[in-house]
Amino acid sequence: MIVSFKKLVFLPLCLALVRGQSIEEDILYETFPENFHWGAATSAYQVEGAWDVDGKGVSIWDTYTHDVGHGHVFQDQNGDIASDSYHKYKEDVQLAKDMGLTNYRFSIAWTRILPQGIGEKNQAGIDYYNNLIDELLANGIKPTVTLYHWDLPQALEDLGGWLSPEIADWFEEYARVCYQEFGDRVKFWITLNEPQVSAINGYEQGINAPGILDPGISPYIAGHHQIRAHARAYRLYYDEFADQKGQVGITLNIHHAQHLTESPEDVEAVERWNDFFMGWFAHPILVNGNYPQVMIDRIALRSSEQGFLQSRLPQFTSEEMEMIANTADFIGINYYTTEIIFNQIYNASDVSYNADIGVGTTKDPTWYTTGSKWFRVEPTGIRNMMNTIRRKYGDYPIYITENGMSDHLGNLDDLTRIYYYKHYINQLLKAIRWDGVNVRGYYAWCFLDNFEWGAGHSQRFGLHYVDFNDTERPRTPKASSKYLTQLYHQNGFVQNDEDPCLNMEI
């Protein structure tokens, strides 16, 4: 038997499926609700390129990636060209149409329309997004627009960035420009993408732009001001732009948590994980304008024990809490994996986010690995997480705004990615049809191979292969894009669908 290298990579998984091992749970053959969003997602810095053309200003990711020799990014790669979607947006929209997308999620580069973050507008940047939006609508695809996906203007970072209270004013000004310029056609707005990651990776661990290493202090300040900024943008929309008849929400990230043992300590650790991870932002925005009580209490106690004169967690004023509460028309969820959680006692002097939570994490070694060390394949978690969100926050409309799998090879016969999508989406269907969770849409990550932040081009999430060694950045649909095209067209799972793994050529 002769097996090509690409085929060999996926043979063990597919043989496991053929042999009926436990990784192949039962599939629910059913459709999704009518008018379900079927989309794919990108972000500006990761796909646009054109980092310094047509009047665009410098972002913190431009600065961070150009600071070479410090290990910020794999092989000192950057997003200067990325997937070159700035110049190839028409081709990308055609690919989206070919896939049958009803919605396309992209972010606006703040520096492309306000080069200094505030002040004078850049018409060329506004024209680009107008052209992209018009091209999408002309092809029957609705735009889903994220205002902020981590690419803060460097000019604002120089004034304090997310650590400055003034950033809520700056973000409101930016949101006003976007609503004014694009709101007649954009009806689905996401204010912030994954503020938890932005705060932790950017300000706690220093592994993302702006690269600040200040555990246990700066991430809470950055998160605090992101919540204030989100609320200001939400209130602005309904104060001044309600006649546009759109919706405004926020995208949060969360991993499903399983407790390692049945001990009360581990069970409680799971709830604490949820409150510190997603609840950090969800509780103020969806509930009462303030942090989960467990965050308030634990950080205050640990801060006192560490000699701080006040809690390291900032406080909202009563006026701010009133402004922040109930400022989402929907919840966007970026979901990838499951964590196994156990209670862990940290040294009292440890000033850090992880020590404040007081949990440890691990993963089941039998779960399939991906191209990213931080997550493995565990499909049932997405259904469980949807139920957890409903239990904690009520019947808010939920949109899966990112879900996908990475590899290193970028091969076109990406059968493990098909397996991932098939089982995660089917578990999402079970959450809707069996559990009654109010999930209204699904956006695969990522539409294209892109610049994957610190991993550069070494981790590929794309439904379409991008040749980063070719200056033309040609795109080629992968097998996973064709699989999702069929699934999206059917609006679900059909009994006689053929499993691509069972037809693998060997």
| Set 157, 181, 339, 402: catalytic member | 402
Q: Give the span between the Cα atoms of 157 and 13, in whole angstroms.
A: 46
Distance between CA atoms of residues 325 and 231, nearest Å: 8
Phi, psi (deg, nearest 5) at residue 247: -125, 150
What is the C-alpha to C-alpha distance for residues 447 and 444, in angstroms, rounded to an integer? 7
Q: 355-367 burial, b for 16+ CB within 10 Å, e for fewer?
A: bbbbbbbebeeeb
> One of 194, 204, 339, 452 is an active-site residue; which one?
194
- Residues 313 and 173: their CA atoms lie apart, in Å, by 26
Q: Do residues 376 and 367 make contact, with C-beta atoms less than 8 angstroms apart?
A: yes
According to DSSP, the residues that pair with 343 across neighbouring strands are: 359
Distance of CA 272 to the CA centre of its chain: 22
Residue 483 and residue 500 in contact, taking contact as beta carbons nearer than 8 Å = yes
- 3-state SS string over 420-476? HHHHHHHHHHHHHHCCCCCEEEEEEECCCCCCCHHHCCCCECCCEEECCCCCCCCEE
Is 402 an annotated catalytic residue? Answer: yes
3-state secondary structure 147-178: EECCCCEHHHHCCCHHHCCCHHHHHHHHHHHH
The CA distance from 441 to 334, in Å, is: 12
214 burial level (CB within 10 Å; 0-12, 13-18, 19+) = middle
Q: Is 262 a catalytic residue?
A: no
Q: Which amino acid is at 360?
A: G
Amino acid letter, 499? D
Contacts 24+ apart (CB under 8 A), 290-297: 290/316, 290/321, 290/324, 295/356
Q: Are strands 331-334 and 247-253 parallel, antiparallel or unpaired?
A: parallel
Counting every residue, how long is the chain?
Answer: 506
Catalytic residues: 194, 402
